[in-house]
Amino acid sequence: MIKYYGADPEYSLQGKTAIITGGAAGIGYATAEFFVKKGANVVLADLNPKVDAIAKGLGASNIGVAGNITVGADRQAVLDAAVKAFGQVDILINCAGIVALESAEIISEEYWDRTIEINLKSSFMMAQLVGKYFIDNEVGGSIVNMASQAGVIALDKHVAYCASKGAIIAMTKVMAMEWGKYGIRVNAVSPTVVLTELGHKAWDGPVGDAFKLEMPSERFAEPDEIAGVIAFLCSGAAAMITGHNLLIDGGFTIK
């Protein structure tokens, strides 16, 4: 059963420990930064060998674990490091992911497999690992999976990406259904283009300007806007929200 501890107008994460994959940059880093401001301890998992220094930059007690979440031993090392450092894990944020921009008729099997492995399979395996930890230790918890507006609508040259993100949304619903009885909430967030460093590189210019004109917001999202929504979903204020895919798309998908 998912417990309710009363309204929390501060949406506090005080004392919670969150594992954030892909945490050294982009949305993952913005989420870590937001979580620390809300009182959480963060454990950043990333391929970047400097991830521990990046985590320490958010506060001396935070840690980073360098590794590849497509590898089971590396996933286990992240969970073990989190428990060792903070005694308990309360939250998992699956942010690690890639984009392979190829049309359906020419995308290679290698690109397809790599996209599905990193975006979908690794998110599932990490969620399974942490979910089993929550169940075995009877601690409940919250998981947020990074999906995308591309999991809800079709985008040109995004066939593998759309497939992986749509599957993440379906996966999220099943986990929420199965694990609610253990006090575990599982949700997904689906952003539009986010102006991370990579977002700027890909979308600054005429193509991005034209895309924005198709959006009611007429702009793309900032990383901290996504982080704020993720923090809300992990807070006590969202205790009755599970199995939900929350679109953060400036209204792009309403048409």
Q: Where are the beta strands (DSSP E) in 70-183?
A: 91-94, 141-146
Catalytic residue among 5, 133, 161, 182: 161
Name the residue with tokens 């919250």: 142
Q: Which helix (H) or strand (E) holds 170?
A: helix 159-179
Tally of CB atoms within 10 A around 27: 27
Active site residue 161: yes
Q: At what angle do helices 159-179 and 122-137 cross, to 10 degrees?
A: 10
Nearest to 23 by CA among 47, 39, 57, 7: 47
Q: How many CA atoms lie within 13 A of 180 on its CB side?
A: 13
Neighbouring residues of 207: CB distance < 8 A, sequence distance ≥ 6: none
Cα 189 from Cα 248, distance rounded (Å): 7
User: Taking the CB of residue 34, how many other CB atoms lie within 10 A of it?
Assistant: 21
DSSP 196: S
User: Among all residues, which ones are annotated catalytic?
Assistant: 161
